[in-house]
Amino acid sequence: MRHRLRYPLALTTVAVGLSITGGIASATAPPVGPLPSGQVTDIRTSRNSLISIALPSSSRAGYVWRLARRVDPKVAVQVGEGEIGRNVVVVFKTTGPGHVRIAFGLTRGESPKAVQSVTYRLTVTAR
């Protein structure tokens, strides 16, 4: 979440349009290591939906939320990311039916050590 987007990103979630700007994690960052136990949330939706995930704000200076594991692009792809107030919001578009875990780790910069985690178990139906 270090580099800033250069353009506003319009999102539609739950019939509400939001305009946000935010950062994109560096593609050269090392992978996030083992995740500590954390909140797990189940989400069920249909194909071609937008899913917004608001990550908890951290009071720790220098810590950032990073996508911890690969997300199967046959089920969902990340289409945006931004900041609303102090929260980071990541948006995924569902691409096809299936199950996928979307896991985030809170790390100090690009360190592989996560101090906090949140996981979303996404189920996408064909309809």
Residue pair 56/83 in contact by the 8 Å Cβ criterion: no
Reported pTM: 0.75
Residue 41: CATH number of its domain: 2.60.40.2020
pLDDT of 41-98, one tens digit each? 999 999 999 999 999 888 888 899 999 999 999 999 999 999 988 889 999 999 999 9
Range of the domain at 105: 3-24+31-125
Q: Could you give the CA distance from residue 117 to residue 6 in angstroms, rounded to a whole number?
A: 28
Residue identified by tokens 């691409």 is: 95
Q: 103: closest CA among 48, 45, 50, 34?
A: 34
Phi/psi of residue 66, each to 5°? Answer: -130, 140
Number of structural domains the chain divides into: 1
Greatest Cα pair distance in the chain:
43
